[in-house]
Amino acid sequence: MNTVRTLLVDDNEAFLVLARHLLATVPEISVVGLGHDGYDAVRLAEELRPDLILMDLSMPGMGGLQATRLIKAQDTPPRILIASHYDDAEHREHTAQAGADGFISKHDYEHRIAEYVRANMVASVQEGGAHG
């Protein structure tokens, strides 16, 4: 079975550790890299060519929205899921306008991330729809 090559990007080290731990229990996911800001996200998206980026909305330097715009301009960009504590209509709209493929509240992350990846990524990777 193919796995979803996933890049995690968040300025909160504790959240990265938690996210990696949660994703380690999902056999369909392989975490291929970790980043701490939007600059890391753009660079690692180009270097690692992940299928999926799980990225924080608000980070110092370059945030998730600006990084999403830059990554989506690349040839064959990965899917991008923005995660944030700011879960309201305005933030979700900004996320969609930036080109992100989805949004997940960090409050629901623990219970919904595996479901999201299974529903939105696994079939695509198995059919060869994502690069990697």
Determine, yes or no, domain membership for 72. yes
Determine, yes or no, domain membership for 129. no
Which helix (H) or strand (E) is 89 found in, with range?
Answer: helix 89-98
What type of residue sits at position 107? H
Domain with 67, as residue range(s), is 4-30+37-118
Listed in order, strand segments (DSSP E) in 19-116 are 29-35, 52-56, 79-84, 102-105
Query: Given CA atoms 100, 11, 19, 92 in this order, what sign does their dihedral have?
Result: negative
| CA separation for the pair 39, 113 (Å, rounded) | 24
- Residue 92 scores a pLDDT above 80: no
Q: What is the pLDDT of residues 42-57, one digit of tens each?
A: 999 999 999 999 999 9
Determine, yes or no, domain membership for 128. no
- Residue 132 scores a pLDDT above 80: no
Q: How many domains does the chain have?
A: 1
What contacts 90, CB < 8 A, 6 or more positions away? Answer: none
Determine, yes or no, domain membership for 89. yes
What is the reported pLDDT for 128? Answer: 52
Which helix (H) or strand (E) is 49 found in, with range?
Answer: none
pTM across the whole model? 0.85
Record the tokens describing residue 1, joined without a space: 């079975």
86: left (phi over 0), alpha (psi -120 to 50) or beta: beta
Determine, yes or no, domain membership for 13. yes
CATH of the domain at 24: 3.40.50.2300
